[in-house]
Structure 1
Amino acid sequence: MSNPRSERPTGDHLASELAPQQTLQLIITENTTESTQELIKVAETIGRHLARHVTTSQIRNIFGTVRAIEQDVKMSDDDEQLPLHVQRELQMLRPKLAYQYGRVQGRDDAPDKAAIGALTKILSDAIRLVGADTRRFRNFVDFFEAILAYHRRYGGRTN
């Protein structure tokens, strides 16, 4: 007889199911038809899963910061490096994501905690892949925006 609790995935495990590292790398680092198709497919899968377990305000809190950072990059060419202050702001999203994860009560394998943990891991890994590359940053913004859109499409929780 197995314990159903022990079979529930944690955020890290769920992240690797929703957005395997190789797929995430394709989405963030490439600018091809294939990478765009993967972005849409993976964002829909993530958004659908998050809709049941993550509130809109939890996602929008982070996305609002990304939009503010994006304003500093708007006029940059894709082949330019991100300004240092933008790189810093982007990297500082990782602790902000960790804070959001820490605020969710319960065990690491509880569905709501695992979902926010998966989002934290996926976005943190994507941020690492961006580095100082402006084009990669734009791919990251597109990916995050698509996740948010699908979260809404699938009836994302409002509280």
Structure 2
Amino acid sequence: MTENIESFIKRDDTAKEMVKFAEELAKDIVRDVSTSQIRNAYGTVKKLEMLSSFSDKSLRELLLLKPKLAYARGRSQRKETFKKLEDALGSAIDAVDVNQPETFKRFCNFFEAILAYHKANGGK
């Protein structure tokens, strides 16, 4: 799984696989992870996306999303299901390279796809 997620972020030719993976993940977590839990993390990502450039400071903020996800898992009723989301996003965050800003853009696309499919599958 980690290798697939890394390729979604590092390579430009994996969009089709990334979308399929995001759809399957969203279906897996839709019953046990709320939209607001996902949106809390997504809000941080959108703030970073709106900056004019992706920098070391931006990468630091992105990396700090990992403990926030761990905290959200700790508060979650279904920890094992939330862990799937946490692991996928954690692997994607690890693949982002500050020297390759397009990797951050692909990360944003991946996260957005998860959120969209979660909502499309009835996420509340």
TM-score over 0.5 for the pair: yes
Per the alignment, in what secondary structure is the counterpart of residue 57 of structure 2? helix
With normalisation by structure 2, the TM-score equals 0.94
- 1:125-151: CA deviations, max 9, x gaps? 110110313111000000000000000
Which whole-Å CA distance do the structure 1 matches of 2:56 and 2:8 have between them? 23
Name the amino acid aligned to 1:31: D
What percent of counterpart residues are identical? 40
**Partner in structure 1 of residue 8 of structure 2:** 27
Is the aligned partner of 1:49 residue 2:28? yes
Larger Rg: 1 or 2? Answer: 1
Name the amino acid aligned to 1:29: K
Which whole-Å CA distance do the structure 2 matches of 1:102 and 1:95 have between them? 10
Structure 1: tracts of 5 or more residues without a match = 1-19, 77-81, 106-111
- 1:32-51: CA deviations, max 9, x gaps? 1xx01011100100111111
1:133-148 pair list within 5 angstroms: 133-148=100-115
- 1:36-72: CA deviations, max 9, x gaps? 1011100100111111110010000000110011111
Structure 2: tracts of 5 or more residues without a match = none
Runs of 4+ in 1 over 2 A off after TM superposition: none
Which whole-Å CA distance do the structure 2 matches of 1:61 and 1:21 have between them? 23
Which whole-Å CA distance do the structure 2 matches of 1:52 and 1:83 have between them? 36
Q: In proportion to residue count, which structure has more helix? A: 2
Structure 2 residue corresponding to 1:119, chosen from 77, 81, 85: 85
Structure 1 residue corresponding to 2:60, chosen from 88, 99, 104: 88
Per the alignment, in what secondary structure is the counterpart of residue 139 of structure 1? helix
What's the Cα RMSD here?
1.1
